[in-house]
Amino acid sequence: MLAPRCGMSDVQNEIDSDTGLPYQWEKKRHLTYAFENYHPSMEESKQRLAIRESFNRWSIVSGFKFRDVTGIKDVIPDIRIGFFSKCHNDPDCFDGHLGVLAHGYYPEDGELHFDKDEPWGYPDTTKSKNDLLEKKVFDLLEVSTHEIGHVLGVDHIPNARAIMFAGYFPTPDINGNYIIKKMTDLDKEKIQEIYGPNVGTGVASRGPPILPNRQNNTASS
């Protein structure tokens, strides 16, 4: 329980009494997202790359399409992404370094928040992978993939291999190299329980080039 983890409790997504299913995006399969701010110690381009890759992962297994509308005027995004410290105008205050890393909220809230007091990284170099393995920084790609799962309505999965596992445990391979955690069949099955199988091949999220209505249905990570 002292390990870094998702801020969401292991209470499951509530069931919609009208549909008998967990809360979900009822009518939308094309969702937009935008950054409200960036983490000051990580390159903005890498933050946007990590988030885009996370959305792409869910797109492939769900059939959702995502578009980055950061900086586009007169567009209200479905999903709002930002880095915040301690209490920040939602029901779940962050707790400083370590502990809770991030939290997302069940549909159709659209809030996705990361703890600004944590150091964040992206696994694109040998040095960054070593830093991730030693927990000098936390993997924004892994954590954002997990949180986007909550934003889409997916619960925690009690299996450490799954991206929707609540705990954060960076793992080396047999050679001591950092393993980038990937989506599993368990994650795929979980989202398809809500939205059905993906009849297409998935579509990568779209948006600008990578450059230097809240409901009380909470799920934080």
Q: Are 187 and 157 in contact (CB under 8 A)?
A: yes
Q: Spell out where 20-96 has E strands.
A: 30-35, 65-68, 79-84
Is residue 30 a known part of a binding site?
no
What was the pLDDT predicted at 32? 98
Range 47-66 average pLDDT: 96
pTM of the model: 0.86
> pLDDT band for position 196 (50/70/90)?
confident
Q: Above 80 in pLDDT, residue 103? A: yes
Q: Whole-number mean pLDDT of the chain? A: 86
What pLDDT score does 191 carry? 95
- Give the residue numbers annotated as catalytic, written as ranges: 147
Is 39 annotated in a binding site? The answer is no
93 is in an annotated binding site: no
- Give the domain ranges of the chain: 30-194
| Annotated binding-site residue? 97 | no
Determine contact, residues 117/111, Cβ cutoff 8 Å. no
Render pLDDT for 108-164 as a digit per residue (tens, 0 to 9).
999 999 999 999 999 999 999 999 999 999 999 999 999 999 999 999 999 999 999
156 in a known ligand binding site: yes
The H or E element spanning position 113 is strand 111-115
78 annotated binding-site participant: yes
Q: Each residue of 155-185: b (16+ CB within 10 Å) or e?
A: bbbeeeebbbbbebebeeeeeeebeebebbe
74 in a known ligand binding site? no
Residue 217 has, within 13 A of its CA and on its CB side, a CA count of 23
Q: How far apart are CA 128 and CA 104, in angstroms?
A: 25
Residue indicated by tokens 């950092």: 178
Select the CATH number that applies to the domain covering 30-194 from these four: 3.40.390.10, 3.10.20.30, 3.30.430.20, 1.10.357.10: 3.40.390.10
